[in-house]
Amino acid sequence: MGASKAYVNRELRWLSFNERVLMASENESIPLMERLKFVGIFSSNLDEFYAVRVGSIHRALIDPEHHPLKGSGNLKTLLKEILHEVKRLNARTDAVTEHLFEELRKHRICMVDEQTLSDRQREFLDSFAAQKLRRNLFPILLDPNLAFPYLKHVTLYLAVHMYHSTQPSDFRYALVEVPNTMDRYVELPSRGGWHHIINLEDVIRLKLNEIFKALPYDRYDAYTIKITRDGEYDLTDEITRSLYEKLSTSIKQRSQGDPVRFVYDRDMPKHMLNYLMEKAQLKECRIIIAGGRYHNARDLLRFPKIEIPALYFEEQRPLKHHTLSDQFSLLDQIEKRDHLVTLPYHRYDTVIDLLREAALDRQVTSIKMTLYRVPENSSVINALRNAARNGKEVTLYLELQARFDEEINMQWTEILTRERHINLISGVEGMKVHSKLALITRTVGKKLKRVALVGTGNFNENTASQYSDHILLTANPKLTGEIDQLFLLLERGFADVKFKHLIVSPFHTRKRFIFLIKAEMEQALAGKESGIVLKLNNLVDQQMIKHLVKAEASGVPITLMIRGICSLALHKDQKNLRGKALIDRYLEHTRVVKFHNGGKPLYFLGSADWMERNLDTRIEVMVPVYSKEIQEELEVFLTMHWEDTYSSFSLEQGSYNQRLQTGISGEKRAQQDLYRYYQSLLEVES
């Protein structure tokens, strides 16, 4: 098969992934409020897509020498394809959102606007505006002789057309920023068991006559607008400033990035649109979209909670771990055997409890950890600070370049530099550290004993309840010794380290996995059993795809479970290649790779997707799973995901993105079945 037939453009396949998110909002078997959240996720994803991917295309078109974009073909053609696809998806989004709100009315949940308020609700909003809203509004009168105000990234504005009813030709324009420091949706006083909710911008519309009362107008028409800006930034090569200092400057530059998308209310008068386009210098913006009255559906993620259980997923409380006891030392238990924490089915408390125990254990001498995305009030960082205050040597790599989390990570860096016994390390210059690692060392007698954590996702309690991830807890010296060597590499900035057990990017992840693919090909060509299973977030790297296609042609059965971008085109004539994606209540984030290996399966888990950046330009770690019990657990995990018929989508050409839901009783739902599986393990152990 030719390379062009085997590979599909990454940007278009990302839009296919986001379409699957949108399809979840259309799935009538999912509770209504959860479907509304999927619309919010779709919108949030699309904003980031424009800021990052379309922003990169925009840069490459303007300055291809300094901002080349590999593997994307003709960029102008690609941009047209993106716009066509986004328009199609936006039309579906509008339709499903309208439908969902119609369905919510059946449960006495009703959206209202400034025209449909009762007297009681108007009185409530009078008080709301006076006490909460007014102090957050800063209207700007637009003057053709003055510079146009700066429009913030993905921030809603009301563009206001003010005029007098008896003299429409006498008018002015103004802008009012919809404050993102306030809830987007305002709950109103209701009667008869009804829940009435109004958009914040409609409250502002209601109060425009008061906001502009000093002006001689009696008519105010307001239209929402939103700009998405290029979300990338440049880091200079200067050596006189630290990465922290360069990032501080670059993040400020990003907030002022070029506009890559302008969305406006299609009912806006043409004279007003032309004025905004000219004065805001939007004529160079490559994507301009006429939308509806409301934008930023991402805010549906924070839609008011209504106490009607049937509108939400049934609660699945995280479970105690089936092989770990609260009654004994976690460090001692991990030294006896490996354990696998699978989130969000297991409690994330295990990670925090382990760090807290290490902070208090007299035999613990040091804790080392890599962090990528951390919340504003991180229990992990607080546990590490406590350990440092208890005299432990804490070594921490905190990735400053975690996209869109740079500012939080920089704030933590400022705080941690003031902590004694915390050694903040800078890693390898020019490389993000995306690996998820922790290493606890204690001295028992004259022996050093180590316990390690290797994860597929961030050490972040906020996402631990929303993302499906694995964390391997191990004291296997083959693994902990090499993890210690990896931290040495990060501390020194570089070191001559060789890894026999860990698979580490950028050193040999690509080479090692290609070797294992070829080994399966040899087995298949010899008429022996073979097989490869990949459960990843993204499969994009062209070289890896090329080797998978060759393996399939050699007779190797390949199973792909790719949640996000899958650039490998699965054709019907490829009998040994099958693929699906799963979108359900939890974000599938685990990265697990399995090779048949002549009947002695090899399992790996860790942080690396099969993308060029993860294989070649980041520090990533995939760890072999040696425990037979955990291998069996992973096999159940992979099997349940493959057998899912509730929330899975085909990745095969001809039926691409087709939902595999059967609609029959006894349908298999992986995320629900896994919860029951871990419940059953807990019952067996107890």
What local confidence, expressed as pLDDT, does residue 209 receive? 96
What local confidence, expressed as pLDDT, does residue 72 receive? 62
Whether 89 contacts 22, CB under 8 Å: yes
In this predicted model, what pLDDT tens digit does every residue of 78-93 receive, in sequence order? 999 999 999 999 999 9
Segment 272-291 mean pLDDT = 88
In this predicted model, what pLDDT tens digit does every residue of 252-277 receive, in sequence order? 555 567 888 999 999 999 999 999 99
Segment 587-613 mean pLDDT = 98
What local confidence, expressed as pLDDT, does residue 66 receive? 61
Question: pLDDT: is 239 or 61 the higher one?
Answer: 61
In this predicted model, what pLDDT tens digit does every residue of 161-212 receive, in sequence order? 999 999 988 899 999 999 999 999 999 998 888 999 999 999 999 999 999 9
Q: Which residues pair with 439 in a beta bridge?
A: 368, 452
All CATH 3.30.1840.10 domain ranges of the chain, comma separated, are 3-311
In this predicted model, what pLDDT tens digit does every residue of 388-421 receive, in sequence order? 999 999 999 998 876 767 888 888 888 898 888 8
Strands (E), 464-569: 467-474, 503-505, 532-536, 558-562
Mention every residue, 6+ apart, whose C-beta is less than 8 A from residue 212: 139, 160, 162, 174, 220
Whether 518 contacts 545, CB under 8 Å: no
Question: pLDDT: is 143 or 248 the higher one?
Answer: 143
Burial of 485 (0-12, 13-18, 19+ CB in 10 A): middle
Q: Give phi and psi for 393, each to the nearest 5.
A: -85, 115
pTM: 0.92
- The percentage of residues in the chain with a pLDDT greater than 90, rounded to a whole number, is 78
In this predicted model, what pLDDT tens digit does every residue of 12-46 receive, in sequence order? 999 999 999 999 999 999 999 999 999 999 999 99
Distance (Å) of CA 642 to CA 313, 532, 534, 639: 22, 13, 11, 5
Rounded to the nearest angstrom, the gap between the alpha carbon of residue 432 and the centroid of all alpha carbons in its chain is 17
User: Radius of gyration over alpha carbons of the chain, in Å?
Assistant: 27
Strands (E), 113-188: 140-141, 157-164, 167-177, 185-188
Report, at the CATH architecture level, how domain 3-311 is classified.
2-Layer Sandwich (3.30)
Segment 374-382 mean pLDDT = 93
Burial of 680 (0-12, 13-18, 19+ CB in 10 A): exposed
Q: How far, in Å, CA of 351 to CA of 357, rounded?
A: 10
Q: How far, in Å, CA of 383 to CA of 445, rounded?
A: 26
What local confidence, expressed as pLDDT, does residue 6 receive? 83
Q: How confident is the model at residue 97 (pLDDT cuts 50, 70, 90)?
A: very high
What local confidence, expressed as pLDDT, does residue 4 receive? 54
Rounded to the nearest angstrom, the gap between the alpha carbon of residue 246 and the centroid of all alpha carbons in its chain is 25
In this predicted model, what pLDDT tens digit does every residue of 350-367 receive, in sequence order? 999 999 999 999 999 999
- Which amino acid, 454? V
Task: Out of 64-68, 265-269, 379-383, pick the least confident.
Answer: 64-68
Q: How far, in Å, CA of 16 to CA of 12, rounded?
A: 6
What local confidence, expressed as pLDDT, does residue 247 receive? 45
Q: Give phi and psi for 267, each to the nearest 5.
A: -85, -5
Task: Out of 2-11, 62-71, 471-480, pick the least confident.
Answer: 62-71
213 is written with which tokens?
């009362």
Q: Give phi and psi for 590, each to the nearest 5.
A: -70, 145
Segment 108-131 mean pLDDT = 96
What local confidence, expressed as pLDDT, does residue 428 receive? 82
In this predicted model, what pLDDT tens digit does every residue of 608-617 receive, in sequence order? 999 999 999 9
The mean predicted confidence, pLDDT, of the chain is 92
What local confidence, expressed as pLDDT, does residue 10 receive? 92
**330-497 maps to CATH 3.30.870.10:** yes
Q: How far, in Å, CA of 429 to CA of 449, rounded?
A: 30
In this predicted model, what pLDDT tens digit does every residue of 641-686 receive, in sequence order? 999 999 999 998 777 888 876 655 668 999 999 999 999 999 876 5
Q: How confident is the model at residue 241 (pLDDT cuts 50, 70, 90)?
A: very low
In this predicted model, what pLDDT tens digit does every residue of 535-572 receive, in sequence order? 999 999 999 999 999 999 999 999 999 999 999 999 98
Q: How confident is the model at residue 236 (pLDDT cuts 50, 70, 90)?
A: very low
What local confidence, expressed as pLDDT, does residue 232 receive? 65
All CATH 3.30.870.10 domain ranges of the chain, comma separated, are 330-497, 504-685
Task: Out of 40-44, 384-388, 489-493, pick the least confident.
Answer: 489-493
What local confidence, expressed as pLDDT, does residue 70 receive? 66
Q: How confident is the model at residue 438 (pLDDT cuts 50, 70, 90)?
A: very high
What local confidence, expressed as pLDDT, does residue 237 receive? 42
Name the nearest CA neighbour of 401 among 240, 247, 252, 238: 247
What local confidence, expressed as pLDDT, does residue 474 receive? 99
Report, at the CATH architecture level, how domain 504-685 is classified.
2-Layer Sandwich (3.30)
CB-side neighbour CA atoms (13 Å) of 587: 20
Residues belonging to the active site: 434
In which residue are the tokens 């330009």 written?
617
